[in-house]
Structure 1
Amino acid sequence: MAEVLSDSLDLEALRSFVAVARLGTLAAAAEQRHRTVSALSMQIKRLEARLDTTLLIRGARGVTPTPNGEALLGEARELLRRHDGLVARISGRGLSGQVRFGMPEDYASRLVGRLLPDFLARHPDVVLEAVTAPSGELARRLERGELSLIVALDRPHRLSGGEPLWRSTPVWAGARELVLTADQPLPLALHPEDCPYRQLGVEALGAIDRPWHAVFTSTSIHAVETAVESGLAVSILERDRLTPAMRELGEAEGLPVLRGCEAQLHYGRQVSAASWPAVEALGELVKRQLGQRQ
């Protein structure tokens, strides 16, 4: 007779716990897991009894993990990832499903150049759809269920529950030979309204009552950079995107200090159960390769 360890954890209960913690409500997790709310609640209670701790705080707006729940969440995700990988390798069945991934264009070269090809090489049966858009648009598309996961800055449309990846370093950028005059409105090259850096710059200029006008507006980061290099306008760029034809501007030119943003990983709440393992696998790859980047 096979020995059953009394302190072993139920993997399906762990899957339900991860789903509840991610989605924020028992009802949403039960729908994704194809279980009743009562059955899923019982799984969580048994898991709490097994670990002799409270994992979730239940409130009027849903549930949130306790400190012990947060600790288990990270470990559970890694355990399930390793378990599912083992099963896939031994059985010959890899991950499948559809993953719709959104990212800002500024970071697309890092993601498309190495991370996404690596992901597809590991999981060739996954249908991947990757799109670029400003962070504000990505956040709204995630909320509408159009995307499975996104990397986005925490402005201008804030989402709760994101996993931090890195801090951005926005700077004022101008052509190397650019000369600014304080008595004229600042000429700017900007992205549309959904861009976090546009919001940062406009707010900073408003705080010091510095007049400005948009000389050039484009969704393309490369077009904005060309406008800066040519001396047409000043813009707000990530510091590591400055080219030899640009220089960082600041207080000497009468420009205010810019606050940074946080790049975060967000998962959608309408991902199907069949696609969720692939979505989480891409999320884990993003965190390993891009998390805490300096």
Structure 2
Amino acid sequence: MSEVSLGALDLESLRSFVIVTQLGTLAAAAEQRHRTISAISMQIKRLEERLGTRLLFRGARGVSPTPTGETLLREARELLRQHDNLLARFTGRGLSGKVRFGLPEDYARELVGQVLPEFLATHPDVLLEAVTATSGELTHLLERGELALAVLLDRQNRLRGGEPMWRTAPVWAAAREARIDGEQPLPLALHPVNCPYRALGLEALEAMGRSWYAVFTCTSIHALETAVEAGLAIGILDRQRLTPAMRVLDENDGLPTLIGGEAKLYFGRSIAKDSRPAVEALAALLRERFHQRAPWPGERADNSAFAIRGGASGDRRN
């Protein structure tokens, strides 16, 4: 019986396709891959010809994957991950380079405990630096080229695109025995500006004409939670962070419902060529663990300020 050849997909073209969909433009992908725009365009064209289908929608603001392109994107990521792991295992050359990863403090313990140790165990030659900050501050770092990868909440974040990871669940949190006087301004415990939950809560209060004042303002999520537990003020927390000493406030307490948003994964625009495979590997692990599933374990998360291999630590939320 004769062997039927279906041809082969070029791995480098697949890498370019994945990066184009991540960054949203051929120009950005060309810069990342150190190639010309025409070279990237030709790789995408050859993929489309090989597969006999259109992979990208092209518009004035950039490109986005077609439904078929979305399917290929998922498969290509897994294929490239397996290829890189296989090559590293047989050649003895694992991933290297530096990955500076930004994340909101609310999720620091979960991401550190569930993902980063596994990543470093698999890729011990990678220099991983984790940074916690508000989503607004992380946005600034991405724009300045100071982060290779980041998880951001979709408020206080002006960046376009991003890969949706999980939904957030913000609620009004008060001490267990707290009672709210609807005739008095609402006492709040808040983080400074650039915090998504702060913006969400204040906009909701202003929309209903409810007056408020800040009793306690800090950058530490742990200190804010302590202020809420002590009955000093009302806070805005993810539902999973509530402790037995807290309760949720809702319409029965005269407060508006808070609408959840999304945590999204973003790539930096200035990633060194030798670090790109490591950045892709960490992104793949994050998708595997947290796509459409918030990273909360069965137990409550505590505040976490940390540094990994010289990474910057922080004590900021969201």
TM-score (norm 2): 0.87
The one-letter code matched in structure 2 to 1:293 is: R
Contact 2:24 2:161 in 1 (8 A): no
User: Is 1:75 aligned with 2:71?
Assistant: no
1:234-249 matches, within 5 Å, as 234-249=234-249
Q: Which moved more, 1:35-44 or 1:222-231?
A: 35-44
Q: List, as ranges, runs of 4+ consecutive aligned residues in structure 1 with deviation greater than 3 Å.
A: 3-6
1:49-68 matches, within 5 Å, as 49-68=49-68
User: Is 1:95 aligned with 2:91?
Assistant: no
Q: Distance in 1 between matches of 2:39 and 2:178?
A: 66
The one-letter code matched in structure 2 to 1:155 is: R
Give the secondary-structure state (helix, strand or coil) at the position aligned to 2:273: coil
Q: Distance in 2 between matches of 1:250 and 1:94?
A: 51
User: Is 1:143 aligned with 2:153?
Assistant: no
Give the secondary-structure state (helix, strand or coil) at the position aligned to 1:43: helix
Give the secondary-structure state (helix, strand or coil) at the position aligned to 1:275: helix
Q: CA deviation at 1:84?
A: 0.7
What is aligned with 1:35? 35
Contact 2:77 2:284 in 1 (8 A): no
Query: What do residues 2-21 of structure 1 show as CA deviations (whole Å, max 9, x unaligned)?
Result: x9944211111111222222
Give the secondary-structure state (helix, strand or coil) at the position aligned to 2:171: strand
Unaligned runs of 5+ in 2: 295-318
Q: Which moved more, 1:122-131 or 1:137-146?
A: 137-146
What is aligned with 1:134? 134
TM-score (norm 1): 0.94
Unaligned runs of 5+ in 1: none
User: Is 1:214 aligned with 2:214?
Assistant: yes
What is aligned with 1:225? 225
User: CA RMSD of the aligned region, Å?
Assistant: 1.6
The one-letter code matched in structure 1 to 2:73 is: L
Q: CA deviation at 1:276?
A: 1.2
The one-letter code matched in structure 2 to 1:7 is: G
Q: CA deviation at 1:262?
A: 1.0
Shift of the 293–40 alpha-carbon distance from structure 1 to 2, 3 Å rule, reads: closer
Q: CA deviation at 1:216?
A: 0.6
Q: CA deviation at 1:265?
A: 1.3
What is aligned with 1:198? 198
What is aligned with 1:17? 17
Q: Distance in 2 between matches of 1:249 and 1:22?
A: 39
Query: What do residues 69-123 of structure 1 show as CA deviations (whole Å, max 9, x unaligned)?
Result: 2221121111111101100011010011111111111110101223111111111
The one-letter code matched in structure 2 to 1:8 is: A
What is aligned with 2:110? 110
The one-letter code matched in structure 2 to 1:23 is: L
Q: CA deviation at 1:277?
A: 1.1
The one-letter code matched in structure 1 to 2:175 is: A
Contact 2:216 2:233 in 1 (8 A): yes
The one-letter code matched in structure 1 to 2:192 is: P
What is aligned with 1:262? 262
The one-letter code matched in structure 2 to 1:39 is: A
The one-letter code matched in structure 2 to 1:259 is: I
Q: CA deviation at 1:160?
A: 2.3
Q: CA deviation at 1:171?
A: 1.0
Shift of the 146–241 alpha-carbon distance from structure 1 to 2, 3 Å rule, reads: same
Q: Which moved more, 1:145-154 or 1:14-23?
A: 14-23
Query: What do residues 218-246 of structure 1 show as CA deviations (whole Å, max 9, x unaligned)?
Result: 11100000110111100111111111111
Q: CA deviation at 1:283?
A: 1.1
Q: Distance in 1 between matches of 2:252 and 2:26?
A: 55
Q: Distance in 2 between matches of 1:180 and 1:19?
A: 50
Q: Distance in 1 between matches of 2:36 and 2:204?
A: 50
The one-letter code matched in structure 2 to 1:169 is: A
Shift of the 25–291 alpha-carbon distance from structure 1 to 2, 3 Å rule, reads: closer
Query: What do residues 163-184 of structure 1 show as CA deviations (whole Å, max 9, x unaligned)?
Result: 2221111111111122221221
The one-letter code matched in structure 2 to 1:46 is: R
Contact 2:170 2:197 in 1 (8 A): yes
| Equivalenced residues, count | 292
User: How many percent identity over aligned positions?
Assistant: 68
Q: Distance in 2 between matches of 1:287 and 1:19?
A: 15
Give the secondary-structure state (helix, strand or coil) at the position aligned to 1:274: helix
Q: Distance in 2 between matches of 1:174 and 1:50?
A: 59
The one-letter code matched in structure 1 to 2:270 is: Q
User: Is 1:173 aligned with 2:173?
Assistant: yes
